[in-house]
Amino acid sequence: MMTVLNELGLLGVWLSLFIEGSALPFVGTVYIITIGFIKNLSWLEMMSISLLGSFLYAVGSYIPYWIGFKLGDAVENKVNSQQFAKAKQSFHKYGMWTVAISSPLPLGNVIPFLAGMTKMKLLPYTLLTMLGIAPTTFLFLSLGQFYDGSKQDVLRIIDQAQWIAVIFVVIIAVIYIWKKRRVPCH
The predicted-structure confidence for 18-47, as pLDDT tens digits, reads as follows 998 998 877 777 778 878 877 888 999 999
The predicted-structure confidence for 148-180, as pLDDT tens digits, reads as follows 666 666 666 666 666 666 677 678 878 878 877
Pseudo-torsion of CA 9, 12, 17, 18, nearest 10°?
A: 140
The predicted-structure confidence for 90-115, as pLDDT tens digits, reads as follows 666 766 777 888 788 777 778 888 88
Q: Between these two residues, 163 and 54, which has the higher pLDDT value?
A: 54
Stretch 110-121: mean pLDDT, rounded? 86
How far is the C-alpha of 155 from the C-alpha of 35, rounded, in Å? 10
Residue 6 binned pLDDT confidence (cut-offs 50, 70, 90): low
CB 6 within 8 A of CB 159: no
Residue 2 binned pLDDT confidence (cut-offs 50, 70, 90): low
- Average pLDDT of the chain is 80
Residue 80 binned pLDDT confidence (cut-offs 50, 70, 90): low
